[in-house]
Structures are given as C-alpha cells and as structure tokens.
C-alpha cells in the first residue's frame, strides 16, 4: 500500500480532527525529547522515533489540506532567505586586512 492510501485509510477510520490532534501530540513528544537533549539527558533513539512520528503526521496534514506544493514553495523561499542572511553575515565578518 502506498503512503497516500495509508493516509486516506487513516482519515476514513479516525477522521481529520483526530489526525490533526495526532500531529500536535507527536510534535509535543518531539519537543520533550529535544528538551531532554538540551538538559544533557537526551536519547537519540527516542529523538529519531519522534522525528519519524512528526514527519509521518505532518505528511498527513499535507495530504489533508493538499499543501505539498505550497509548502515546497515556502521551503524554497525560506531556504533562499536563510542563504542570503548567511551570505550577508559572511560579508560582514571582520577581515584581518
């Protein structure tokens, strides 16, 4: 079964609100694991699992609202902006001249 078929079956079984709540819950679980990392008691196996959960549930959000193309466009815009900032900072770095 392909991913979209699985997402469709999830929506049919549990509904949109349930799947959106699942995405929120998974993001919260990832936040918790990342906070543990910051506090020096992180578990990378758990972080990896929570990232997988977040990615799966966010893909379902993209599927629910048909946002994949729009999100990809926003990623490109934001990555270009980030690159511009980094290039600008490089230009501002003090030289040893």
Smallest distance from Mg ion to CB 50, Å: 5
- Of residues 43, 67, 79, 56, the one with CA closest to residue 10: 56
**Whole-number Å distance between alpha carbons of 36 and 25:** 17
User: Is 59 a binder of Mg ion (CB under 5 A)?
Assistant: no
- CB atoms < 10 A from the CB of 33, how many? 18
Is 10 in contact with 60 (CB distance < 8 Å)? Answer: yes
Which of these segments, 9-17, 33-41, 46-54, 80-88, binds Mg ion (CB under 5 A)?
46-54
User: Is 34 a binder of Mg ion (CB under 5 A)?
Assistant: no
HSE-up (13 A, CA, CB side) for residue 59: 14
Among 53, 56, 59, 62, interactor with Mg ion by CB under 5 A: 53
Residue number closest to Mg ion, CB atom: 53
Output 7 or 26, the one with its CB closest to Mg ion.
26
Residues that bind Mg ion (CB under 5 A): 26, 29, 53
């Amino acid at each position: 079964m392909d991913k979209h078929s699985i997402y469709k079956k999830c929506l049919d079984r549990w509904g949109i609100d349930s799947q959106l709540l699942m995405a929120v819950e998974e993001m919260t679980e990832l936040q918790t694991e990342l906070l543990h990392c910051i506090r020096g008691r992180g578990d990378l196996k758990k972080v990896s699992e929570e990232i997988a959960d977040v990615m799966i549930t966010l893909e379902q959000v993209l599927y629910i609202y048909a946002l994949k193309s729009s999100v990809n466009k926003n990623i490109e815009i934001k990555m270009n902006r980030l690159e511009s900032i980094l290039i600008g900072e490089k230009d501002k770095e003090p030289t040893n001249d």
